[in-house]
Amino acid sequence: MNPWLWSRTLGETHAAGLDPQGTGLRQRDARLAALLAAAFGDSPFYRRRRRGPVGALPRLDQVAPVEKAELMQHFDDWATDRQISRAGVDAFLREPTHLGDPYLGRYLVWTSSGTTGEPGIFVQDEQSLAAYDALDALRLHGGPTVMGPWPVWGGLPRYAFVAATGGHFAGVASIERLRRMAAAFPLIPWLAPTVQTFSVQRPLAALAQELQEFEPTVLITYPSCADALAQSQSEGALQLALSEVWLGGEQLSAEQRTRIRTAFGCRVHNNYGSSEFYAMAWECAEGCLHLNHDWLILEPVDRQQRAVPLGEVSHSVLLTNLANRTQPLLRYRLSDSLRFVPGGCACGSRFPAIEVQGRADHTLVLHDAQQREVKLLPLALATAIEEGAQVTRFQLLCTAPDRLELRFEADQHDPAAAFGRARAALRAFLAMHGLQGVRVVRSHAPPLRSGRSGKLHRVLLQPGRSWTAA
């Protein structure tokens, strides 16, 4: 943490919040110009892709869209800091104790899941981390009118963060960074949060018991996990006294929101973010997501990556991260569908309003040997396969209460070996949940896709079945 950069970024973000269409857009334009200069001046990858008149920087719309797989393939040529290398980052990530440590003494590194078939590695520089801190402090989870003018981690609340663990993921890496900041700046009390991380891979009964012992006042997790915990709360197996629930990482349905709010009797905050940009949009009091357009640009596009008209739902979206000039993301494709909402929001904010259709896999309910129901969260299942088998191009289909079917993408290398590793990882995960009798089989059929959007669900209940919790 650079205190001067952090303070300046906080001030700029506050100013943009007061005048989103004036100050905010001017900041956006200045950051875009600086990003383009850095990318096409110092990144070999982007220099090779340069278009437009000789001697002039290309406009953003002249930059060819880029996919995660292409960036990972050309990782060594991507960063503007030429000391960053794939071999160096891989060696850093192989050591679990490096979670939260600064890579090369100045960067935070985190990884994404392989939900699009390709895991990602993202190097966060000081400016991007300062931007995420400022957005967290001023806009997410209600902003300063709810939590005060400082980052939301401070004060008396007790925060339970339930997320995927066992890797250098964005959430757990960010929380470990907060712990390091607290140690480095002991005179700044709001940097010393009372926060504890819990693994979403744990059996729900064990997770509920751990949460009950911790007694959090704020729960931070995925919608599917919060929904499952809300059912435990409604049934009396869990008795948390929460003031707020913060959600992200998956699609939040209206039914989930109602169940979570009713069970815990508190406000539910949703947000939209990704490993590529941690805080893309925040939810206002009207339940509408507002884009942080001073720090990023989102372009909704169709299947051919052409812009869609205002108000229409996109097939995917192109992200430009204006904060990170060390590992530039220019027109980077995310698989989420979204639309910009025409007209203003009733909350009065002049930040653009968006509606997002993101990850929406199924929570599965399987039966153990005594025919008791056991809930399995989709992100926990996907993480078990990704981390345990190093397989990302798969779909897990529940075809019976005691049967799971693995399907692979057509370009999966050595699918027989991939199935062997994935089945072993799944069996270990299922055994931890008391499900030794569940069969795991391989199907040679292609993964099922959404008929409307063509998108792939990673964890899915077979169409026509009914033993699912969500």
- pLDDT tens per residue, range 389-443: 888 889 999 999 889 999 998 888 899 999 999 999 999 999 999 999 899 999 9
Q: How many CB atoms lie within 10 A of CB 202?
A: 18
| Confidence at residue 309, expressed as pLDDT on a 0 to 100 scale | 93
The pairs formed by 287-291 with CB atoms below 8 angstroms and a separation of 24 or more are: 288/341, 288/345, 288/346, 288/347, 288/353, 289/353, 289/354, 289/355, 289/356, 290/139, 290/345, 290/349, 290/351, 290/352, 290/353, 290/354, 291/351, 291/352, 291/353, 291/354
| Confidence at residue 124, expressed as pLDDT on a 0 to 100 scale | 95
| Token output for 112 | 């994404």
341-351 per-position pLDDT tens digit? 998 899 999 99
Residue corresponding to tokens 């970024």: 9
What CATH number belongs to 364-461?
3.30.300
Q: State the SS3 of 217-279.
A: CEEEECHHHHHHHHHHHHCCCCCCCCCEEEECCCCCCHHHHHHHHHHHCCEEEEEECCCCCCC
The contacts of residue 332 (CB under 8 Å, 6+ apart) are 65, 66, 67, 68, 71, 276, 318, 319, 320, 321
Superfamily assignment of 3-357 in CATH? ANL, N-terminal domain (3.40.50.12780)
Q: Would you give the distance in Å from CA 331 to the centre of its chain?
A: 18
* Residue 297, strand partner residues: 320
| Confidence at residue 50, expressed as pLDDT on a 0 to 100 scale | 84
The letter for the amino acid at 302 is D
pLDDT-derived band at 383 (thresholds 50, 70, 90) equals: confident
Q: How many CB atoms lie within 10 A of CB 306?
A: 10
| Confidence at residue 470, expressed as pLDDT on a 0 to 100 scale | 35
Residues in the chain: 470
154 pLDDT higher than 80:
no
Mean of pLDDT values over 78-87: 97
71 pLDDT higher than 90:
yes
What integer best gives the mean pLDDT of the chain?
87
Q: Closest by alpha carbon to 9, among 29, 34, 32, 27?
A: 27
pLDDT-derived band at 108 (thresholds 50, 70, 90) equals: very high
Domains in the chain: boundaries: 3-357, 364-461
**Residues above pLDDT 90, as percent of the chain:** 61
| Confidence at residue 95, expressed as pLDDT on a 0 to 100 scale | 86
124-133 per-position pLDDT tens digit? 999 999 999 9
| Burial status of residue 340 (CB atoms within 10 A of its CB: 0-12, 13-18, 19 or more) | middle
273-321 per-position pLDDT tens digit? 999 998 999 999 898 999 999 999 999 999 999 999 999 999 999 999 9
pLDDT-derived band at 171 (thresholds 50, 70, 90) equals: confident
Of 13-22, 406-415, 444-453, which gets the smallest average pLDDT?
A: 444-453
pLDDT-derived band at 31 (thresholds 50, 70, 90) equals: very high
Q: Do the two domains 3-357 and 364-461 of this chain adopt the same fold?
A: no
Strands 353-357 vs 289-291: parallel, antiparallel or unpaired? antiparallel
What span, in angstroms and rounded, lies between the C-alpha atoms of 416 and 397? 17
Spell out a b/e string for 244-278, using b for 16 or more CB atoms within 10 Å of the CB, else e.
bbbbbbbbbeeebbebbeebbebebbbbbbbbbbb
42 pLDDT higher than 80:
yes
pLDDT-derived band at 114 (thresholds 50, 70, 90) equals: low
Mean of pLDDT values over 445-450: 83
pLDDT-derived band at 109 (thresholds 50, 70, 90) equals: very high
158 pLDDT higher than 70:
yes
| Confidence at residue 149, expressed as pLDDT on a 0 to 100 scale | 39
The letter for the amino acid at 462 is Q
